[in-house]
């Protein structure tokens, strides 16, 4: 007899550019459709920037728009969707997603199975948001401890953190992020390097990241300013946008390095951008299981990463890359010099990173583990 599909209502709030949105699209596309049916409820503020490209990847979705903080019409819309869809489980992602699930649990469907994904703590992008960030984290920890029956954690680091906050270990399943395998051709490398005025014999350091305080890019700039004095053929590309972008552009201009540091803004062609690089540096002050790091491993780049969060669950020091302490521009400088002056080391670590990605962090690996998790929920 054919098994009845498990209906899952997956809740997303905002869908801004970043890892949680990408995670949502992966979950939506990897589940075994014979056993699991997912309806994505996406609550959007019309005035906020969203990741349109990733949102379009969601196959089965219902978008609910809200007009500012005092518009609570989304509560009624979600209630109607739940009554029509009749899910067995409600899955939430991110802090606002957990809040919506909490409201549903109280007002609409207390008998549902509530599950969640956990991607790490919220880090405020400005000083003004620190109080809000404290509340977000406290609420998320409370929700995961009291309401969620099962949690996907994207890194062992996250699981340990939740355990310290009182979440039962048995509820937490570590399933590392996974991404599609893409192999770029040399044409994309040549095209972008030409667009960025990077010569064939230049060496390009790059980072793909939000330009926010938690990403530690100021320390990479510290290190690069020393590099620029010693190696005239080394350039730096910063892929992304964020709250510190204009400040960093002004800093680089004042240092006379505007022709050697490329600020690309937001790019949707990250694989091609990575292909144009020779060294990938991730100077973050906090990470959990970085998609950007996986993308660099997939591209077979020589990688420098900080020893924070789940980074070392991906990249092993002196095997797949070089691991340095966070907020330490001197260590970043030393690691960059090693790679700049040793092409064979760059090649060796890049190949090892690529092989480790194929073995551990593909979307197929994540899909298999996630299907098993859903199957256990369905049988529970």
pLDDT tens digits along 196-220: 999 999 999 999 999 999 999 999 9
Alpha-helical regions (H) of 58-154: 73-85, 94-107, 130-146
pLDDT band of 103, cuts 50, 70, 90: very high
Say yes or no to pLDDT of 19 above 80: no
Q: List the domains of the chain with CATH numbers.
A: 6-178+363-379 (3.40.50.2000), 186-360 (3.40.50.2000)
Q: Of 90, 97, 45, 38, which is closest to residue 68 (Cα–Cα)? A: 45
pLDDT band of 86, cuts 50, 70, 90: very high
Give the range among 57-66, 84-93, 276-285, 290-299 with minimum mean pLDDT: 57-66
| pLDDT tens-digit series, residues 245-259 | 999 999 999 999 999
| pLDDT tens-digit series, residues 339-349 | 999 999 999 99
Q: pLDDT at position 125, please?
A: 66
Q: Which residues contact 214 (CB under 8 A, 6 or more apart)?
A: 123, 125, 284, 285, 286
| pLDDT tens-digit series, residues 159-196 | 999 999 999 999 999 999 998 898 776 778 999 999 99
Q: Is the dihedral of CA 30, 16, 171, 112 positive or negative?
A: negative
- Are the beta carbons of 121 and 94 closer than 8 angstroms? no
Q: Report the distance separating Cα 380 and Cα 366, nearest Å.
A: 21
State pTM to two decimals: 0.89
State the burial class of residue 253 (Cβ atoms within 10 Å of its Cβ: 0-12, 13-18, 19+): exposed
Helix (H, G, I), strand (E, B) or coil at 2: coil
Q: Of 247, 21, 14, which is closest to residue 117 (Cα–Cα)? A: 21
């Amino acid at each position: 007899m054919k098994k009845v599909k498990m209906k899952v209502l997956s809740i997303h709030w905002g869908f801004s550019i970043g890892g949680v949105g990408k995670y949502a699209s992966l979950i939506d596309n990897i589940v075994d459709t014979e056993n699991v049916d997912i309806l994505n409820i996406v609550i959007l503020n019309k005035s906020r920037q969203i990741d349109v490209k990733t949102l379009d990847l969601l196959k089965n979705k219902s978008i609910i728009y809200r007009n500012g903080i005092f518009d609570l019409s989304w509560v009624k819309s979600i209630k109607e969707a739940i009554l029509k869809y009749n899910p067995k489980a409600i899955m939430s992602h991110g802090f606002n997603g957990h809040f919506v699930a909490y409201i549903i649990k109280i007002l609409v469907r207390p008998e549902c199975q509530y599950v969640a994904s956990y991607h790490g703590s919220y880090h405020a992008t400005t000083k003004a948001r620190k109080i809000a960030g404290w509340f977000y984290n406290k609420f998320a920890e409370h929700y995961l401890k009291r309401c969620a029956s099962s949690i996907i954690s994207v890194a062992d680091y996250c699981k340990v953190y939740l355990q310290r906050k009182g979440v039962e270990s048995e509820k937490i399943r570590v399933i590392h992020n996974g991404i599609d395998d893409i192999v770029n051709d040399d044409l994309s490398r040549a095209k972008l390097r030409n667009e960025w005025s990077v010569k064939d014999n230049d060496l390009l350091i790059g980072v793909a990241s939000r330009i926010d305080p938690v990403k530690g890019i100021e320390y990479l700039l510290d290190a690069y300013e020393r590099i620029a004095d010693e190696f005239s053929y080394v350039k730096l590309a910063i892929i992304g946008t964020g709250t510190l972008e204009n400040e960093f552009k002004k800093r680089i201009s004042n240092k006379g390095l505007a022709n050697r540091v490329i600020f690309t803004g937001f790019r949707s062609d990250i694989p091609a951008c990575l292909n144009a690089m020779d060294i990938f540096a991730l100077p973050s002050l906090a990470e959990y299981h970085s998609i950007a790091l996986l993308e660099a491993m997939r591209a077979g780049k020589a990688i420098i990463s900080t020893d924070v969060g789940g980074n070392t669950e991906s990249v092993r020091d002196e095997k797949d890359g070089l691991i340095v302490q966070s907020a330490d521009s001197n260590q970043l400088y030393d690691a960059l010099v090693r790679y700049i002056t040793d092409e064979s080391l760059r090649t060796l670590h890049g190949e090892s990173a690529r092989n480790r990605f194929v073995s551990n962090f593909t979307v197929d690996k994540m899909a298999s583990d996630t299907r098993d998790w859903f199957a256990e929920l369905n049988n529970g």
